[in-house]
Amino acid sequence: MLVKWIRCTVVDRGGFERGQRKWAGLPGEPGFRGQGGGWSRTRPGVAHLVAFWESRAFYDSFMARSHDRLAASQAGTYKNGQTRLFEHELDVKVGFRPVFEDADVLRLAYCQVRPDRVDHYKLMQQKVWNPAMAGSPGMLRGLLGRAPGEEFLVLSMWQSAAERGKYRPERLERLALRAQTAADIMGVTGDVVDLEPSWTV
């Protein structure tokens, strides 16, 4: 499965949200599995979207045929658009499904991993981080995606902001020490996104 992550700074909120409704036509596209997104909790005006496709081939076909027509309605409503593609590597919890209806919060962590530490990083995702996240109250499902090279996206969906708050900094620090995260990662950026139900496709 291919994961597409889009981040942009919205300059015309009303226009952007109206344009977002145009993406309701996506379910008719071959290979499309789901899309959702919302507003950053920490960066005013920043929107995040994630879309899921069965394969790169289906996604490339969509980009060549239909994408520009659907995207035209949002032209000029945002700036600093960044898009990254990731191939699904493993589930967090089990049986990841690209659905958003039962989730309130999306957590994104973009990690740049040292080339000689990729195997260790992936092992620690399986052995340390996944069990910890899977056992956290309110955590619904998630995945680890990989871009060409050493870029990874950890995506997790949560039932509510209150439940996500139980995943506390001191616990994160203990897990990071156990997983030797500082040795694996050159850089990490993340965000917490309040999902907008009307953006779910």
Model-level pTM greater than 0.85?
yes
The total of structural domains in the chain comes to 1
Q: What is the pLDDT of residues 101-132, one digit of tens each?
A: 999 999 999 999 999 999 999 998 888 888 88
Q: What is the pLDDT of residues 179-190, one digit of tens each?
A: 888 889 998 898
Range of the domain at 85: 2-199
Residue 21 tokens, joined: 């409704």
Sequence-ordered alpha helix ranges (H) in the chain = 13-20, 56-65, 67-71, 118-124, 130-134, 161-164, 169-179, 181-184
Please tell me the predicted confidence (pLDDT) of residue 132. Answer: 84
Question: In whole angstroms, what separates CA 148 from the centre of its chain?
Answer: 16
Question: What CATH number should be reported for the domain holding residue 12?
Answer: 3.30.70.100
